[in-house]
Amino acid sequence: MKYRKFGKLDWKVSALGFGTMRLPVINNDYGKIDQPAAVDMMRYAIDRGVNYFDTSYIYHNGNSEVALGEALKEGYRDKVRIATKLPCWIVNSDSDFDRIFSEQLKRLQTERIDFYLLHGLNRDLWPKMRDLGVIKWAEGAIADGRIGALGFSFHDSYDIFQSIVDGYRGWNFCQIQYNYMDQEFQAGTRGLTYAHKKGLAVIAMEPIRGGLLATPPETVKQLLTDESATLQPQELALRWVWNHPEVTLALSGMSTMAQVKENIAFADRSQPHNLTADEVKLVAQIRDAYLALTPVTCDGCQVCMPCPDGVKLDIPRVFDFYRAAVMYNDAEHQRMMYSDPQMFNPETRADKCNECGQCMEKCPQNLPIPELLKKAHKYLTEKEKSCS
């Protein structure tokens, strides 16, 4: 296993981190983890050098932390560092900090969280958490040894990411979505570079975009069958992330032992600046092939936001769902997230557009946004309508 320095801390982390959002389950029930299989997978990874495990209060309906706690019995806890997250969107008062944290310690069967993240910070959740006093609370937990280091995971635009990084000097690390398709998405490469220069460890989540880059469409498969393409699509995606020296580790959510073994083998071959010129060129060609499938060319610049007259429509995020559904042949999953009120506020869906047209006046690409929103909403609710 290869290791990299974890930001400013005097500790080295495995290039591959084990994400526990996609553990094996029973009868396709996301809340029922196959505990024996999960334990075998996690302990196999630890025995081969993986020393960073990421979980969350919400993963597997709260059972991910429990599963990890069980896996780390019998001396395994001393071999790894645990990262888990505070679900900021369900925090309503400062009393929730200790209540949720204590529950997490119990689930994980530990007295200390090595790396604690504020989960999913964005333009709304960061000021909310800041004003509730989360920094003061976290500093107290660090002082008394219950937390080792504080960081955050992120889903919003680059300018918001930069403001959060600059908003607190005590951040040790951050977690961003990063892969060869998301170089300009959310924090993107600019965010990776900025956080690294500030001394933060940067954890790349979704390096294979939830596994979607491992099952490419035909236009991409044709590129990968060329005799010069020697890597599997999933290894190429991971190696692209590891190729960046600013990346501290790639966090992969693994569902099978085969995936664990495969990713460990990939990590063993990882190095910064390790892709050949031909491989870098191939990734660029693959990215172009995916982008050619996009149903909307919105780049998420946010200039069209906010909508006027109290409309809460989130135009860029609607287009994110639409793009992912079409480009990666992932319609079922994107429709589920779009229609889940816990994943996406119904008040921000595309059907809230009143076609005032002000967004088109602002759009630097002159996109017919109301028309595209109609198409996106129809596509993302087709299953919903067929079931009604």
The predicted-structure confidence for 343-382, as pLDDT tens digits, reads as follows: 788 999 999 999 999 999 999 889 999 999 999 999 999 8
pLDDT at 210: 87
The mean pLDDT of 205-234, rounded to a whole number, is 85
Name residue, tokens 């919003």: 156
3-state class of 52 per DSSP? Answer: strand
Q: What is the pLDDT of residues 50-63, one digit of tens each?
A: 999 999 999 999 99
What is the rounded average pLDDT for all residues in the chain? Answer: 93
Query: What residues pair up with 359 in beta bridges, in sequence order?
Result: none
Query: What average pLDDT does this structure show over 113-119?
Result: 98
Residue 333 pLDDT greater than 70, yes or no: yes
Give the closest residue to 158 by CA, choosing from 206, 193, 200, 128. Answer: 193
Report pLDDT digits (tens) over 129-181.
Answer: 999 999 999 999 999 999 999 999 999 889 999 999 999 999 999 999 999 99
Q: Which residue has the higher pLDDT, 153 or 301?
A: 153
Q: Is the pLDDT of residue 310 over 70?
A: yes
- Looking at residue 299, what is its pLDDT? 79
Provide the percentage of residues in the chain whose pLDDT is more than 90.
80
Residue 386 has pLDDT above 90, yes or no: no
Q: Is the pLDDT of residue 225 over 50?
A: yes
Axis-axis angle for helices 35-47, 257-268 (nearest 10): 20
Q: Would you say 197 and 244 are in contact if contact means Cβ atoms under 8 Å apart?
A: no
pLDDT of 280: 93
Cα–Cα distance list, 312 to 119, 221, 241, 306, 345 (Å): 22, 39, 35, 7, 9
Pick from 236-250, 261-275, 307-321: least confident: 307-321
Higher local confidence (pLDDT), 205 or 341: 205
pLDDT for residue 213: 93
176 vs 188: CA distance, rounded Å: 8
State the Cα–Cα distance between residues 233 and 265, nearest whole angstrom. Answer: 14
Q: Which of 248, 186, 211 is nearest to 54 (CA)?
A: 248
Distance CA 161, CA 354 (A): 30
What average pLDDT score do residues 82-111 get? 97
Calpha distance 182→206 (Å, rounded)? 10
Question: How high is the pLDDT of residue 109?
Answer: 97
Please identify which residue in the block is written with the tokens 């990968």. 224
pLDDT of residue 308: 85
Assess contact for 308 and 362: CB atoms under 8 A: no
Domain-by-domain residue ranges, the chain? 3-284, 315-386
Token pair belonging to 150: 């504080």
More confident residue, 271 or 224: 271
pLDDT the model gives residue 86: 97
Eight-state DSSP code of residue 40: H
For residue 158, the tally of other CB atoms under 10 A from its CB is 20
The whole-model pTM stands at: 0.88
User: For 178-191, what is the mean pLDDT?
Assistant: 94
Token pair of 320 as six digits: 């994110």
Instruction: Kindly write down the DSSP assignment for every residue of 253-265, as one continuous string.
Output: E--SHHHHHHHHH
The string of pLDDT tens digits covering residues 19-46 is: 999 999 999 898 999 999 999 999 999 9
Longest dimension (CA), the chain: 62
pLDDT bin (cut points 50, 70, 90) of residue 80 is very high
* CA atoms lying within 13 Å on the CB side of residue 69: 19
Q: Rounded to the nearest 5 degrees, what angle is found at the Cα of 133, between the Cα atoms of 131 and 134?
A: 110
Q: What is the mean pLDDT of residues 89-107?
A: 97
Both tokens assigned to 249? 């580790």
DSSP 8-state class, residue 383: H
Peptide bond before residue 295 is cis, with ω within 30 degrees of 0: no
Question: What is the CATH number that goes with domain 3-284?
Answer: 3.20.20.100
What pLDDT does 344 receive? Answer: 85
Tokens 């997250």 locate to: 85
pLDDT of residue 385: 47
Q: Is the pLDDT assigned to residue 383 strictly greater than 70?
A: no
Average pLDDT rounded to a whole number, residues 273-289: 93
Query: How big is the chain, counted in residues?
Result: 388
Name, in order, each residue with C-beta under 8 angstroms of 124's C-beta and a sequence gap of 6 or more. Answer: none
Give every CB contact of residue 216 below 8 A, 6+ residues apart in sequence.
224, 233, 286, 290
